[in-house]
Amino acid sequence: MAQIIAVCTSEQKGTNKKTVSTAVARENFGLVGDAHADCHTHRQVSLLAVESIHKMRNHGLEVGPGDFAENLTTRNIDLASLPIGSRLEVGDDIILELTQIGKKCHTKCAIFHQVGTCIMPKEGVFARVIRGGIINAGDTIRIKDVG
């Protein structure tokens, strides 16, 4: 079963996100209280699989949920293989639509400088909130529609 293992937010852009117990996903906005939430962007929520984080741990890094500035850390779902436009159902209420896979790393983050690679440019995904609700670690995440 695929699930959300961590929900993370930050008050400022450019910082690691901290794990929170719960968050509100607001339709066409993102996670309330997160610096990246914005109704004018297609990157309202970021997701990264814990399996990707483990790849970086294999390089000797002590990293975990939120360290790649992702909002939602998932388990047992291959996010990066889903096409743009795919819809994910989180818990009983939330619908996210994938809008971007990976991102350009213009300045090369500290992780890249430490080990020569980073997972976010290829394995992190971004989504917009189609239907909002309360999100908690432990919520299920399901592919609702494939773009």
Domain boundaries, the chain: 3-145
pTM score, two decimals? 0.88
Question: What DSSP element (H or E) covers 96?
Answer: strand 94-101
* pLDDT per position as a tens digit, 109-139: 455 445 455 566 578 899 999 999 999 999 9
Q: Note the pLDDT of residue 113.
A: 47
3-145: what CATH class?
mainly beta
Q: How many angstroms separate the CA atoms of 36 and 72, rounded?
A: 13
| Mean pLDDT of the region 75-85 | 94
pLDDT of residue 103: 66
More confident residue, 1 or 12: 1
DSSP assignments along 114-147, one per residue? HHS--SHHHH-EEEEEEE-EEEETT-BEEEEE--
pLDDT of amino acid 86? 96
Can you tell me the mean pLDDT for 72-77?
A: 97
**pLDDT per residue as tens digits for the range 28-67:** 999 999 988 988 889 899 999 999 888 877 877 788 898 8
pLDDT the model gives residue 120:
61
Q: What is the pLDDT of residues 14-31, one digit of tens each?
A: 778 899 999 999 999 999
